[in-house]
Chain A
Amino acid sequence: MNPTPSQTVGPFYGYALPIPRGGDLADGGITVHGYVYDGAGDRVPDALLEFWQADPSGSLKGAPGTLRRDQVSGELLGRHGVDFTGFGRVSTDADGHWTLRTLVPGTGYISVCVFARGLLHHLYTRIYLGRDAFLDSLPPERARTLVPVEEREGVHRFDIHLQGENETVFIDFG
C-alpha cells in the first residue's frame, strides 16, 4: 500500500506531545545531553527528539507507561519508575538544549528520531556508546558525529547538526 506522507510537526506541538520528565528514563545511569543546530549554526528551540533503546541486557521489549495518566484528573503522570520503558521524548528548550537520563543500552546505541518546525519529514540517527558494523563502516569524520563526547564520568555530550560542516549522519531504513 502507498504510505501516508509525512508533514512537519510544526511550531505548536508543545501542549500535545511533550511528556513530564520525558527524558528521564531511569535514575542511576548515564546522562546524555546536547544541542540541536541548524545549517547556520544556530540552536533550534523547537525540535522534538524521541529516543528508543534496549535495556542494559539488550532487551528491546520496552514497557508501556511512558504516558501514564491519572485516573481522576486525566493528567499526565509519566513513568512510575519501576519498569524501563525504553522510550523517551524531549523537546529542546529555548536554548536548543535537551537532556536524557537513561541506562546504557546492551546493544551499544540509542536510536533517535528528530522532529522540528521546518523539518518536513523526521530524521533518524543513533547515539553510539559502543560500536558495531554500521558505525565501523562509516568514514571516520562521519562516524564521529554519532559518538558522544564524555565530558565527565557518566555525562555524555551529543550535538545534532541538521545541516552544515558537522552534519550528523542520518539513517534510511528503507
Chain B
Amino acid sequence: MTPPLTQADIDREIAELHRRAPAGGDRQAAQALRDFAPYRSSVLRHPKQPLVAIKDPEAGELTGPVFGVTDVAPFDSDLTRQHLGEPLGERITVQGRVLDRDGRPVRGQLVEIWQANASGRYLHQRDDHPAPLDPNFSGVGRCLTDDEGGYKFTTIKPGAYPWRNHVNAWRPAHIHFSVFGTAFTQRLVTQMYFPNDPLFPYDPVLNSVTDERARQRLICAYDHDLSVPEWTLGYRWDIVLDGPAATWMEEGR
C-alpha cells in the first residue's frame, strides 16, 4: 500500500511545478494549469490533447446569455438577510468591478457567489466537515453588475475548511465567484481569497496558478472606505475577464 500523501509531498510537487512553469508574462502562466497533479482530482479530469483554436469573428461564443431584472431578487446580494435571524461571524462587504481585458466595464451581467459559513461548513449534503451549520446562513448570492461594471455583496467572512486531497489538507478561506461577460468566451468561475492567509503556500488549488503576480489577482484587498460604520469590514476585488469580448469584432480590431 502506498503511504498517505503528506503536506510535505504536496509542497515538493508544487515547488517543482512552479520551477518548471513558463515565466510571468506568458498567457498560460496567468491562468490556472488544468494539469496540476498536487490537486489530485485534476489528474483524470484534464484533456491531454491540445485545445483547437477558433478565430472566427462569426463564432456564436462571441455572444452570450442575457440576464435582467427578473433574474435577481432583492435579498440576493445580502447574504446576511436571507433568513429570519442573523448569521454568526464577521460581517463583510465585498465590492468591486467586472472589466474586460481592455478595462471596459462589463454592464448588466450576472455575478453569482457561494461560500462556506463562518465555521467553514457548506450547506451541502456531501460536506461532512464536522463544523456547525448556521440556520441563518445559506451562503448563496447573486447580483447584476451596474453601469460601471460594479457589484456588491454583504456577507459573512467564510472559515477555512479541511478537505481530503492529502493528510491535513486545508483550504484557505475563499468565496466562489461565477461571472458572465458579454461573450460566452469570457465566462469565468473562480475563487476570491482574503489578504495574508497563512494557508496560501499549502493550497494546491490556489497554486495551480503558477505565476505569483497572477495569484495575487485572486486575493481581495482590505479597503477602509468600503467598511460600513458599526456594520461591516470592507474588501475590494476587481475581476478582469479573459477571452475575447463581443465588442472585439464590433470595433474591427
Q: Which residues of A contact B (CB under 8 A)?
A: 1-17, 38-40, 42, 44, 50, 52-54, 60-71, 74, 85-87, 105, 107, 109, 111, 113, 115-124, 133-134, 138, 142, 162-163, 167-174
Whether the Cβ atoms of B241 and A3 lie closer than 8 Å is yes
Whether the Cβ atoms of B240 and A15 lie closer than 8 Å is no
Q: A5-B32, A74-B76, A115-B189 are in contact. Are A163 and B46 (CB under 8 A)?
A: yes
Whether the Cβ atoms of A120 and B32 lie closer than 8 Å is yes
- Dominant secondary structure of chain B at its interface with chain A: loop
Whether the Cβ atoms of B99 and A1 lie closer than 8 Å is yes
Offer 9 A-B interface pairs, CB within 8 angstroms, sorted by A: A2-B214, A3-B240, A3-B241, A4-B240, A5-B31, A7-B191, A8-B42, A69-B76, A74-B74
Whether the Cβ atoms of B60 and A54 lie closer than 8 Å is yes
Interface residues on chain B, number (Cβ under 8 Å) = 84
Whether the Cβ atoms of B103 and A173 lie closer than 8 Å is no
**Does residue B73 face the partner (Cβ distance < 8 Å to A)?**
yes
Partner among B55, B178, B206 whose Cβ is within 8 Å of the Cβ of A17: B178
**Does residue B148 face the partner (Cβ distance < 8 Å to A)?**
no
Whether the Cβ atoms of A170 and B47 lie closer than 8 Å is yes
**Does residue B250 face the partner (Cβ distance < 8 Å to A)?**
no
The residues in B between 120 and 147 inclusive whose CB is less than 8 angstroms from any CB of A are: 122-124, 126-127, 138-140, 142
Partner among B34, B49, B59, B70 whose Cβ is within 8 Å of the Cβ of A167: B49
Whether the Cβ atoms of B66 and A163 lie closer than 8 Å is no
The stretch from B4-12, B180-188, B224-232 touching chain A is: B180-188
**Does residue B1 face the partner (Cβ distance < 8 Å to A)?**
no
In angstroms, how far is the closest chain A Cβ from the Cβ of B158?
A: 11
Partner among A64, A67, A172 whose Cβ is within 8 Å of the Cβ of B52: A172
Q: Which 7 A-B pairs have the closest CB atoms?
A: A118-B41, A64-B68, A16-B114, A3-B242, A87-B65, A74-B73, A118-B45
